């Protein structure tokens, strides 16, 4: 069985459809999607987020020359921001733990799993990604790939935490302890592993997806990108939020589209300053409903154009995950996240 990926771009009412067929686990071999470049390592640009405005630091011809100290200060102020990896304190430390770990957080022991890619080099900063399991499951289901397929294949250091409760987001418990757990784990990862602090991203499924919404609200001023999967809009994720990280919303076509997927999509599109969706969003949904009816596993993604603050991508899939449903993390979920991250500009610092 194969999964076809359809990519639709919203741009002046024009449709760009790019279809690739990828073999599902256990299915027959099929042609892979064309390479999109180095995963998670887009080419450096002159700025991150919205395009930077060029600054002309030259003084008008009739301005009296200033003292050298003043000229130096002005030159420093006009210098473009640094672009590229921002190395954490853990860079240069050899042989970090690869596997199961525990940490004391808020007075209790918590567990998580670290996966280092084969390309890990303690002298070269890598992106840091977190994947959060669904209700009643644990870090092992995500780390093994059965619940969060493809995430550990990213060219990144990936982390899989076990919630301090059955789910992640019930407020105040376990939400507040889980937020502290996340903060403490990020701090430890930066201190012991070679992390690119400008490229920290999170993804979660179902209850983990709601937790991602809280993370985007609490830590959006330093998170690079977030991906709520099979989530609904949880209480408190739209009040007093910080920052606007890039968003890729992933949802099953028959999984409460109107009251779950649409509100999540619209929440982040509005927060990131994106215009209202074009008719191609409706086409993507209609295509996926047709694929589901035909029992074809397909994916359609729509990019919002001209977002004022950060990119937003909306992906739908027709793959049946269990019990005839499309609720969950699709087989190509990791690839969808990888491809989205590869489109983001290099962070500035």
Secondary structure string (H, E, C) spanning 10-23:
CECCECCCEEEEEE
Please tell me the predicted confidence (pLDDT) of residue 40.
Answer: 53
CB 305 within 8 A of CB 11: yes
pTM of the model: 0.80
The whole-number pLDDT of residue 311 equals 96
Of residues 38 and 334, more confidence is placed in 334
Query: For 201-207, what is the mean pLDDT?
Result: 98
Cα separation of 225 and 212, whole Å?
Answer: 10
How do strand 157-161 and strand 108-115 relate by DSSP bridges?
A: antiparallel
What DSSP string runs through 128-184?
Answer: EEEEE--TT--HHHHHTTSSSTTGGGSSSEEEEEPPSSSSS--TTTTHHHHHHHHHH
Backbone angles phi, psi at 237, to 5 degrees: -95, 5
% of the chain exceeding 70 in pLDDT? 76
Taking only the tens place, the pLDDT of each residue in 111-167 is 999 999 999 999 999 999 999 999 999 999 999 999 999 999 999 999 999 999 999
CA distance 118 to 39: 14
Q: In angstroms, rounded to a whole number, what is the distance separating the alpha carbons of residues 266 and 238? A: 11
Single out the residue of 196, 248, 245, 250 nearest to residue 224, CA to CA: 245
Per-residue pLDDT tens for 266-298? 999 999 999 877 669 999 999 999 999 999 999
Closest by alpha carbon to 349, among 41, 79, 9?
Answer: 79
CATH of domain 96-341: 3.40.50.1820
Number of Cα atoms under 13 Å in the Cβ half of residue 337? 34
End-to-end CA distance of the chain: 45
Burial 72-98 (b: 16+ CB within 10 A, else e): eeeeeeeeeeebebebbebbeeeebee
Which whole-number Å values give the CA distances from 273 to 233, 250, 268, 342, in the listed order? Answer: 18, 19, 8, 21
Radius of gyration of the chain (CA): 21
SS3 338: helix
DSSP-derived 3-state class of residue 49: coil
DSSP-assigned states of every residue in 231-283: ----TTTTSS-----EEEEEEETTS-IIIIIHHHHHHHHHHTTPPPPPTHHHH
Instruction: Please give the structure tokens belonging to residue 334.
Output: 């990791």
pLDDT at 211 exceeding the cut of 70: yes
How many CB atoms neighbour CB 35 within 10 A? Answer: 7
Which helix (H) or strand (E) covers residue 186, if one does?
helix 175-192
Contact 239/263 with Cβ under 8 angstroms?
no
* Residue-level pLDDT at 79: 57
Work out the mean pLDDT of the chain and round it to a whole number: 83
- The percentage of residues in the chain with a pLDDT greater than 90, rounded to a whole number, is 72
Residue 323: which residues within 8 A CB-CB, separation 6 or more? none
What are the φ and ψ backbone dihedral angles of 335, each rounded to 5 degrees? -65, -40
């Amino acid at each position: 069985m194969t999964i076809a990926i359809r990519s639709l771009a919203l741009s002046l009412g024009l449709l760009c459809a790019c279809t690739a067929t990828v073999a599902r686990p256990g299915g027959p071999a099929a042609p892979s999607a064309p390479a999109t470049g180095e995963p998670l390592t887009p080419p450096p640009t002159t700025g991150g987020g919205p395009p930077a405005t060029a600054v002309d630091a030259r003084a008008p011809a009739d301005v009296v020359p200033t003292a050298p100290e003043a000229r130096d200060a002005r030159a420093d102020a006009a210098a473009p921001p640094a672009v590229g990896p921002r190395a954490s304190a853990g860079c240069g430390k050899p042989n970090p733990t690869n596997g199961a770990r525990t940490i004391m957080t808020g007075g209790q022991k918590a567990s998580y799993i670290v996966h280092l890619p084969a390309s890990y080099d303690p002298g070269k900063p890598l992106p840091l990604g977190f994947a959060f399991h669904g209700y009643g499951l644990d870090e092992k289901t995500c780390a093994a790939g059965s619940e969060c397929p493809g995430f550990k294949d990213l060219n990144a250091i990936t982390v899989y935490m076990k919630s301090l409760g059955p789910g992640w987001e019930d407020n105040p418990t376990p939400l507040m302890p889980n937020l502290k757990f996340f903060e403490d784990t990020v701090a430890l990862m930066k201190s012991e592993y070679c992390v690119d602090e400008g490229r920290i991203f999170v993804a979660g499924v179902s209850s983990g997806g709601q937790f991602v919404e809280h993370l985007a609200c609490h830590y959006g001023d330093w998170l690079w990108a977030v991906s709520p999967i099979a989530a609904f809009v949880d209480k408190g994720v739209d009040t007093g939020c910080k920052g606007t990280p890039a968003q890729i919303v992933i949802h099953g076509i028959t999984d409460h589209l109107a009251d779950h997927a649409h509100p999540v999509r619209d929440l982040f599109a509005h927060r990131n300053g994106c215009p209202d969706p074009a008719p191609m969003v409706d086409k993507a949904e209609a295509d996926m409903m047709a694929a589901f009816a035909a029992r074809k596993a397909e994916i359609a993604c729509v990019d919002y154009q001209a977002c004022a603050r950060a990119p937003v991508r909306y992906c739908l899939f027709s793959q049946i995950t269990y019990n005839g449903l499309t609720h969950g993390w699709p087989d190509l979920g990791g690839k969808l996240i990888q491809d989205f991250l590869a489109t983001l500009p290099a962070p500035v610092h």
